[in-house]
């Protein structure tokens, strides 16, 4: 599927802990270069379409947590994200190895958003 990119309606930000660690960034940097390129295209589409991204690429899981699906052959990369107004906060990423998204990954995403809000992270944008 191909999208023509218009002006992004959403700003995509990657969650960093108070110590500056970004798990999703580290995960993306460790991906194969071709996988990185595909992920980058889908992050651009996410910035443009937000929750209107087709479900095969961006799916709501629960409690405001969504998954960006970057599927290449047998690799099932998942980036979990949440919305805060016009901000998309990418909380964590992992290689999906089972049918269901692990609850622990969803809980990490929820905790990341809570921490980000508590530290008033949106004011630094």
The domain segmentation of the chain, as residue ranges, is 11-120
Task: Please name the residues in contact with 97: beta carbons below 8 A apart, sequence gap of 6 or more.
Answer: 76
How far is 71 from 76, CA to CA, in rounded Å? Answer: 5
Topology annotation, domain 11-120: YaeB-like fold (3.30.2310)
pLDDT at 121: 55
Q: How far apart are CA 85 and CA 116, in angstroms?
A: 14
Q: What is the pLDDT of residue 3?
A: 47
Q: What is the pLDDT of residue 75?
A: 86
Instruction: Mention every residue, 6+ apart, whose C-beta is less than 8 A from residue 78.
Output: 67, 68, 69, 70, 93, 94, 95, 96, 101, 105
DSSP alpha helices (H): ranges in the chain? 23-30, 33-49, 103-118
CB 17 within 8 A of CB 115: yes
Q: What DSSP character marks residue 26?
A: H
The pLDDT of residue 122:
55
- pLDDT value of position 8: 87
- 2 three-class SS: coil
pLDDT of residue 119: 87
Listed as ranges, residues in the chain with pLDDT below 70 are: 1-6, 121-125
């Amino acid at each position: 599927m191909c999208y023509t990119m218009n002006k992004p309606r959403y700003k995509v930000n990657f969650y960093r802990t108070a110590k500056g660690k970004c798990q999703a960034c580290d995960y993306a940097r460790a991906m194969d270069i071709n996988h990185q390129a595909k992920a980058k295209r889908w992050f651009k589409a996410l910035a443009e379409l937000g929750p209107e991204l087709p479900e095969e690429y961006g799916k709501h899981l629960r409690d405001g947590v969504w998954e960006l699906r970057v599927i290449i052959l047998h690799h099932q990369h998942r980036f979990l994200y949440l919305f805060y107004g016009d901000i998309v906060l990418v909380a964590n990423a992992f290689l999906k190895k089972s049918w269901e998204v692990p609850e622990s990954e969803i809980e990490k995403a929820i905790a990341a958003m809570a921490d980000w809000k508590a530290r008033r992270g949106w004011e630094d944008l």
